[in-house]
Amino acid sequence: MSGSNAQSGNKMWGGRFAEGPSAIMREINASIPFDKALWRQDVAASKAHVAMLGAQGIVSAEDAALISDGLDRVAAEYEANGVPENWDLEDIHMTTESRLAELIGPAAGRLHTARSRNDQVATDFRLWVRDAMAQADAGLKALQVALVTRAAEHADSIMPGFTHLQTAQPVTLGHHLMAYYEMAQRDRSRFADARARADQCPLGAAALAGTGFPIDRHMTAQALGFAEPTRNSLDTVSDRDFALDYLMSATQCALHLSRLAEEFIIWASQPFGFVVLPDALSTGSSIMPQKKNPDAAELVRGHSGRIAGCLTSLIITMKGLPLAYSKDMQDDKPPVFEAAGLLTLCLAAMTGMVEGAKFRTERMRAAAELGYATATDLADWLVRQANIPFREAHHITGAAVKLAESRGVALDALPLADLQAIDARIDERVFAALSVEASVAARASYGGTAPQQVRARVAEARVALGLE
């Protein structure tokens, strides 16, 4: 019976886990395969910590200097050869401390005085996320520069504006591109807000209750570039709001990038033909030689879903965790690392697409003329010039559109007599309002599509971006 149990037990754990439960525990517990990405932050935080320990007299000046030099040697090894993955050491913190001990001896053991891996990982991870926020902001700024540059080129280029993907009113391509500048500006503001909330240093909170050693948390906070230390040790080691803030900002940014990508995908299709995408961001078909596929844009669109999934993953991980630290929180880093990598790629791809796209403005203008996009201008003219209530003007305009549609012509191609047959109050002045050029020029309210307004917004943006 016991032999049978032993045999079934071995089958249960299987070949990979032939050592039994301890092998499973070793693998599920190890985070070094992914948290090795924190090595720069881990070394920086450890150097700040040991400098403070030395300044406070908690460790001798000699040991503090020896440990700091040793950490520099460890960092040089990591830079040259990468971080070794010894799963028995579990994570980047123990890996670094173990190598430090090999290099400098027993003095390495003093480094962990007055700290825990709980506040250590909270500090390292917050430093990494803070860097990711800065990287996202830089990527967004580069996208904004590309958008503003192309918008300035096309402040007068007319295209159809859409609602429900149906032609609505003429707009300018510059106005359309500047809409995405505004989205990117809001994305930058979200990352800036998240960065401000993350500007507190966890180091010194220790395991969960603080420490009895006379540490100087303001010194370590300042050394690591934080505004101040965190104020509650329990909250400090259990807080991952900064990671969620990053993921929420990244998700909103990815949604905006996905919308821009979708526009390019539609515009590049043959029925639209509004844009020719850069060859470097397109692919061909394995079977159809005429195809030029917008793969980069489609991947940006797809990656937005993955980034949103990363946010969901961490939200569910953190839901319902009691204070303070729980091992569930080891799973906080993979979704953030994945989202940051994807977002960096997406920002670079869309920046390159905006920079390298060839806009077919003649086709855009023709499409604007085909969709009766100036119908609203006819209704507005009737209100302004004939003093007709808008609802009645709307009805008159509908009849004019129906007539033009039946003849397959634009509104401004209808003879005056036919327009007057619909309503006698229409006179020859109406034709000045029915061209697409007149339509966009008339919409000169603040933030409107008129070329003068587009140029004004571009000028403001260039100043904000430091281009002027």
Active site residues: 164, 285
Dihedral sign from CA coordinates of 100, 104, 105, 110: negative
Quick one: which H or E segment has residue 255? helix 241-268
d(CA 100, CA 305) in angstroms, rounded, equals 41
Structure tokens at 247: 């993921």
How many other β-carbons are positioned within 10 Å of the β-carbon of residue 59? Answer: 21
Is the sign of the CA dihedral 244, 249, 252, 253 positive or negative? negative
Q: Which residues of 424-441 are buried (b: 16+ CB within 10 A; e: fewer)?
A: eebeeebbebbbbebbbb
For residue 346, the tally of other CB atoms under 10 A from its CB is: 30
Q: What is the distance between the alpha carbons of residues 188 and 139, in angstroms, rounded to a whole number? A: 10
Give whole-number Cα distances, 390 to 379, 393, 418, in Å.
7, 5, 21
Longest dimension (CA), the chain: 104
Identify each DSSP E strand in 148-258 by its residue range.
Answer: 158-163, 166-172, 200-201, 228-229
SS3 content of the chain, % helix, strand, coil (to 5): 70, 5, 25
How many CB atoms sit inside 10 A of residue 44's CB?
19
Distance CA 29, CA 328 (A): 10
Provide the residue type at 371 as one letter. Answer: G
Taking each helix axis from N to C terminus, what angle separates 2-13 and 21-29, rounded to the nearest 10 degrees? Answer: 20
Helix (H, G, I), strand (E, B) or coil at 86: coil
Assign 171 to helix, strand or coil: strand
Q: Which DSSP category does 275 fall into?
A: E
d(Cα 363, Cα 167) in Å, to the nearest integer? 14
Spatial separation of the C-alpha atoms in residues 301 and 284, rounded to whole Å: 19
CA torsion sign for 216, 217, 222, 224 is: positive
